[in-house]
Chain A
Amino acid sequence: MSEYYPGASIIHRLDPRTKFFIFICLMLIVVFIMNPLILLGIDIAILLLYVVAGIPLSRVKGMIIGVIPVIIMFVILNIFVIPVKNPTIIGYIGSYPIAWESIRAGLSGGLRFAIFVFFSRLLTMTTSIGELVSALIKLKLPAEAAVAIGIGFSSVGILIEQINTIKEAQMSRGAPVESRNPITKAKALISVTVPSIYLTILRGLSIAKVLESRAFTYNPSKRTFRKIVKFTKLDYIVIALSIGATLILVIITKFYHITY
């Protein structure tokens, strides 16, 4: 939301509650479905939604590339850490046997993780903080809590800017914050983390002062909201389609015993 990408696409026009609902459907799907091919299909479908939303994929290149090492890590963990019953050995690393089932389970775990990442990012990039706050109010969250969450999300952008400046200041003092050596980098990042924490605490104190001065505690229960989200026909259609798609996928996989 701090990285909201303005637009008027179908995805942008959906009520945030509808997007939350799709997210819940996806959670159900990944509980029931483990087949890497189907999961990959869902991942690709979500990426296509970025295109529908008018967000260039180049903008989320980092996210897509970023999940690859996670998927590899899932596979490695499955191979070396999680035992398999009746394994189908397809090769050896040294003398250590590699089971096809381990690779499949690793891929499945990684692709499920990717579904969460891809969809959460789509949600944040197509939902403004104002819409989110309004949706939370409709979901019966107290106004103070909803606005506080909104302010929290709004602060992310400022904090990122702040961290970038601190990073530049420390790079100007020779701190190897972009070193390829993870230990050197981790040590150098202390010089970025400490001022960031300090400034975040200062910002927290400042926000408290500003909230009081902008009448936030005037009468929270009577607070109005300029943007009020409303369900439209589009939302009902998308919710119906989501339920349908979830049921179909779950039923097909159960009916045909597609576990992996």
Chain B
Amino acid sequence: MGNNNSEYIIEIENVSYKYPGSDKLALRNINLKIKKGEIVLITGKNGAGKSTLCYLLNGLIPHFFGGELEGTVKILGMDTKETPVSYLSTKVGLLFSEPSSQLLTSSVEDEIAFPLENLGLPAEGIDRTVNEILELFGLMKYRKRPPYALSGGEQQLVALASVLSMNPEIYVLDEPTSALDPIGTLQVIEMFRTIARMYNKTFIIVEHKLEEFALLTTRLIVMDNGQLIYDGSPHEILTKKAIELENLGLEVPQIPLFAQKLLDKCKPEVESSLELPLTIEKGLEWFLSNISRFKPCFNSFLSKESSVNATKEKSLEEPLQVRGEPIIEVDHVTFIYPSSNAVALKDVSVKIYRGDFVAIIGHNGSGKTTLAKHLNGLLKPTKGVVKVFGMDTRKTPMIELIKHVGYVFQDPDKQLFTTKVVKELEFGAKNLKIPQDRRNKIFEKVVDELGLKDLLNENPFFLSRGDRQRVAIASILTMDPEVLIFDEPTTGQDPKGRREIMEVAKKLHRDGKTIIFITHDMHLVAEYAKRVIVMHDGRIIMDSTPRNVFRMVDELKKIKLRPPSITELFLNLESRGLKVDVIPLTVEEAINILVETLKGD
């Protein structure tokens, strides 16, 4: 099936591609060659063509999707147009981005064995491989469990294990860690590193998490609008193009971004040819060795700009000091899922205050969603009491509770059902029997605030994922709740999409709503939350401001979480003797704090 005398394992030449029925090119004139053993990271906004490129590599394009394909794709010397997907799939292991949609069988071990059985391998060999892989992924205790009963992160690991079991030459992984917590992500990266080194395998990884993956990969490709716009070493691109990547809406690693912004601020006093760091360790070295160069720049900068102090005060305020009255009270709540007898909450007590902007964080399966579902009566405590605006959730019909607490689910597809956006927005408000005139007023305000005016007569199913998410949020807002719960609202969104949703939440908070959001994204927590509740094993183990919580680096790492790297860098600087008043949570904050710290010092 083909002959590979080339030094390249993947050769894509002049490829352009259109999906059937579409006028738009999903890929435009792609030329890409990848050598055996390379670990390539591909990133870009949603819709940039990353997944399409993945489908190209195992022949799903053109064999499965059809469409118009120009140019040639050769994998190990085989032209994908002439090679069936079933054969290519033995060489190219493809992991899809949505975990649950790729699980086919009834148990974790069957899922791992499935491709091996398809390849006709002897049963004893399959058992051995299954056991090895279960061990490698730490999934041994789940081996008999049905995949649907696992958390999103665990499902992602099972799907990945199934791809790994085939031992392909090339791994094509489309967002392999989107549902994993921060430390889970690092563990998976470590596993890729081991496999790549030990077996000299080739990896093509599509990811938004540039910071975590940059050190694993040997090459970074940035896509936009179906084209490859940057292709080079991750260090080179991330340190030299940090600002450009940020403008593209990507999540640029904070350390090079911080260094670049610092240099930009100090032009021309500090030469901009300094090589920028990528990691926290390098950032620490870089900063300590260059600190004297920045000092004069900061002094002159301070005398030039009087607004810095005001900015600083605004960004460094500690908001937990001023609080409204408690509106939700969770009192010694224990919850046991009746179907599995799993204890999901263990004696949890917490109060939500009017005007809170709370992030609930914790590793996969720590009890975040279970707690949130208690706040609008979807779940009732097995033991203990939950009071929502004074109403005991066990004694109050849910319809009364949802007048006060709105719940935005992760996936808009599990919510939208009408043929017009306008009907979707009216659904909840009508169910609550809100009087017509009040309903109209709220409706207009929500449509205006979320910019949905032009979409009102559209069919929600034909909208983009981002627009569907906005419609889903709006359909809760039209019920006019005072508290809004966002359950992982940013999963499946690119960094720009995540920020857009969080900006909506921020605006609602400014308008007086109380916001509770569940997330794995520590950057969003740092940037938006005023209070952080950390959960572990069904308990609340920390409840404080983001700054206080992110100071506890060691404690967080023990429960598979980690602070943003800029925060970690400054904690390291602090331990090396730099006295800063407060630890920054974002890059902008870090620069302001530094200016303040270094002036005249």
Say if the beta carbon of A246 comes within 8 Å of chain B: no
Given A157-B148, A162-B414, the answer on whether A173 and B475 have CB atoms closer than 8 Å is yes
A158/B100 in contact, CB under 8 A: yes
Whether A216 is near chain B, meaning CB under 8 Å from some CB there, is yes
Q: Which residues does chain A contribute within 8 Å of B120, judged by CB atoms?
A: 218-219, 222-224
Contact between chains at A218 and B118 (CB < 8 Å) = yes
Closest chain A residue to B376, Cβ basis: A172
Asked if B373 contacts A168 (CB within 8 A), the reply is yes
Q: Are B114 and A213 in contact (CB under 8 A)?
A: no
A65 within 8 A of B: no
Q: How large is the interface on A (under 10, 10 to 19, 20 to 34, 35 or more residues)?
A: 35 or more
B110–A210 touching, CB < 8 Å? no
- Say yes or no: A215 contacts B119, CB within 8 Å: yes
CB < 8 Å: which of B100, B117, B149, B476 contacts A223?
B117
Report if B597 contacts A (CB, 8 A).
Answer: no
Q: How far is the CA of A162 from the CA of B96 in the complex (A)?
A: 19
Asked whether A123 is an interface residue with its Cβ less than 8 Å from the other chain, the reply is no
In whole angstroms, what is the CA distance A169 to B378 when docked?
A: 9
Q: Which of A1, A211, A215 contacts B106 (CB 8 A)?
A: A1
Provided the pairs A154-B146, A216-B86 are in contact, do residues A173 and B58 lie with their beta carbons within 8 angstroms? no
Q: A129, B60: Cβ atoms under 8 Å?
A: no
Contact indicator A202/B101 (Cβ below 8 Å): yes
Question: With contacts A1-B106, A218-B86 known, is A173 near B101, CB below 8 A?
Answer: no
The answer to whether A199 and B105 have CB atoms under 8 Å apart is no
List 8 additional A-B contacts (Cβ < 8 Å) besides A168-B378, A174-B399, A176-B431. A6-B144, A173-B431, A174-B479, A206-B101, A213-B85, A215-B90, A215-B115, A218-B120
Distance to closest chain A CB from B208 (angstroms) = 21
Interface residue ranges of A139-160 to B (CB < 8 Å):
150-151, 153-154, 157-158
Q: How far is the CA of A203 from the CA of B166 in the complex (A)?
A: 23
Stretch in A34-42, A103-111, A114-122, A187-195 touching the partner: A187-195
Among B118, B406, B415, B479, residue most surrounded by chain A Cβ atoms (within 10 Å): B118
0/1 per residue, A83-102, Cβ < 8 Å to B? Answer: 00000000000000000000
Are the C-beta atoms of B90 and A218 separated by less than 8 Å?
yes
Contact: B406 with A172, CB < 8 Å?
yes
Indicate whether B107 reaches chain A with its CB closer than 8 angstroms.
yes
Q: Which of A211-248 contact B (CB under 8 A)?
A: 211-220, 222-226, 228
Q: A165 in the interface, Cβ–Cβ < 8 Å?
A: yes
> Which of B21-29, B121-129, B193-201, B231-239 participates in binding chain A?
B121-129
Interface of B with A (CB < 8 Å)?
58, 60, 63-64, 84-87, 89-90, 93-94, 96, 98, 100-107, 110, 113-123, 126-127, 130, 144, 146-149, 162, 166, 373, 376, 378, 398-399, 402, 406-407, 409, 411, 413-418, 427-428, 431-432, 461, 475-476, 479
Contacts of B166 in A (CB 8 A): 214-215
Q: Whole-angstrom distance from the CB of B411 to the nearest CB of chain A?
A: 8
The reply to whether the CB of A166 lies closer than 8 angstroms to some CB of chain B is yes
A130 at the interface (CB under 8 A from B): yes
B84: chain A residues at CB < 8 Å are 217
Which residues of B have CB within 8 Å of A154? 103-106, 146
A2 in the interface (beta carbon within 8 A) = yes
Are B96 and A172 touching (Cβ within 8 A)? no
Among B127, B378, B416, point to the contact of A195 (Cβ < 8 A).
B416
**Contact status of A2 and B146, CB under 8 A, knowing A213-B60, A217-B85:** yes
Residues of A contacting B127 with CB < 8 Å? 226
List 7 contacting pairs A-B, 8 Å CB cutoff, sorted by A.
A130-B107, A151-B105, A169-B409, A173-B428, A206-B96, A218-B120, A226-B127
Q: Are B126 and A226 in contact (CB under 8 A)?
A: yes
Q: How far is the CB of A173 from chain B (nearest CB, A)?
A: 4
Query: A207 within 8 Å of B by Cβ?
Result: yes
Q: Which residue of A lies closest to B144 (CB)?
A: A6
Whether a CB of chain B sits under 8 angstroms from the CB of A78 is no
- The docked-state distance in angstroms from the alpha carbon of A209 to that of B378 is 35
Q: In the assembled complex, how far is the CB of residue B155 from the closest CB belonging to chain A, in whole angstroms?
A: 10
Question: Please, how many angstroms separate the alpha-carbon atoms of A4 and B110 in the complex?
Answer: 14
A199 partner residues in chain B, CB cutoff 8 A? 413-414
A47 to chain B, nearest CB (A): 21
Query: Known contacts A154-B146, A217-B86, A224-B121: does B96 contact A209 (CB below 8 Å)?
Result: yes
Q: How far is the CA of A21 from the CA of B105 in the complex (A)?
A: 25
Contact of B414 among A150, A165, A210, A228 (CB under 8 A): A165
Of the candidates B86, B104, B373, the one whose C-beta lies within 8 Å of that of A207 is B104
A215–B60 CA distance with the chains assembled, in angstroms: 12
